[in-house]
């Protein structure tokens, strides 16, 4: 089997529970959503060539490789790095779940732990690879950022994903609605009040602008969320501030 990739690189994780850990990132193309704050729009559709970054944390010296890429070639590329974690990201990696199943089957004897970074909207696809995963990073998308409600999909996805270690991110943009934030909390509470939740103020598209929520509003949301679930943290993306990939 082959997959369409956008890039492979090694850097530190900039979000969520595993922030700061060294990871190999396998970014697949394709996404079923169009979030207003998306920072990887270039991975929406297939590309003729994917980018391979040989230097950890840097975009210099990138090499090009023709798409689609075979499982064996990807395994060799992943093994050329040294890191404790492999992150499957996108786009939405679960759109290529059959490929990921084969990839993870072939790489199950490697020393990598596997993190899936997902928008949490494709529960049926998750069932194909959940047994190979060590951790799941699930976004809960508020309706204002995707233009529709995904509550049913998120609840079913979370029900399945909770069989594994999981944490949830909710990206908060200035136009969020409190009723939607509360709805997300109710869904998490229904599944497991101990799942860590990360309130992630949206990263400004231009770092010198102020198109995000302020820290005091984030703290207010944290205080409110702690009335529903036990572990709520505030953490913006750190890699843009560190100027890392």
Domain boundaries, the chain: 2-171
CATH code for the structural domain at 2-171: 3.20.20.70
Polymer length of the chain: 245
Give the model's pLDDT for residue 245. 63
Mean pLDDT by groups of 10 residues along the chain of 245 residues: 93 96 95 86 82 89 94 92 94 95 87 96 97 97 96 98 98 96 98 98 65 89 98 91 72
Give the model's pLDDT for residue 204. 72
pTM assigned to the model: 0.93
| Residues facing 197 on adjacent strands | 168, 232
Dist CA 165 CA 144 (whole Å): 28
Dist CA 62 CA 60 (whole Å): 6
Give the model's pLDDT for residue 60. 82
Give the model's pLDDT for residue 210. 58
């Amino acid at each position: 089997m082959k997959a369409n990739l956008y890039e492979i690189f090694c850097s530190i994780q900039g979000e969520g529970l595993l922030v700061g850990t060294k990871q190999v990132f396998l970014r697949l193309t394709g996404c079923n959503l169009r979030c207003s704050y998306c920072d990887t729009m270039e991975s929406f559709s297939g590309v003729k060539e994917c980018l391979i970054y040989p230097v950890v944390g840097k975009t210099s010296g990138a090499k090009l490789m023709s798409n689609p890429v075979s499982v064996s070639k990807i395994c060799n590329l992943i093994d050329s790095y040294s890191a404790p974690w492999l992150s499957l990201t996108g786009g939405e990696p679960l759109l290529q779940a059959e490929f990921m199943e084969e990839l993870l089957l072939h790489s199950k004897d490697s020393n990598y732990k596997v993190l899936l970074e997902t928008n949490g909207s494709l529960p049926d696809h998750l069932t194909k690879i959940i047994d190979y995963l060590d951790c799941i990073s699930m976004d809960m998308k508020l309706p204002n950022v995707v233009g529709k409600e995904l509550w049913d999909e998120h609840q079913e996805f979370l029900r399945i994903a909770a069989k594994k270690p999981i944490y949830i991110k909710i990206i908060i943009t200035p136009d969020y609605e409190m009723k939607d934030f509360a709805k997300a909390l109710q869904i998490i509470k229904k599944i497991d009040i101990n799942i860590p939740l990360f309130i992630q103020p949206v990263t400004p598209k231009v770092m010198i602008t102020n198109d995000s929520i302020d820290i005091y509003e984030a703290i207010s949301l944290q205080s409110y969320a702690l009335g529903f679930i036990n572990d709520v943290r505030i953490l913006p993306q750190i890699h843009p501030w560190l100027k890392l990939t």
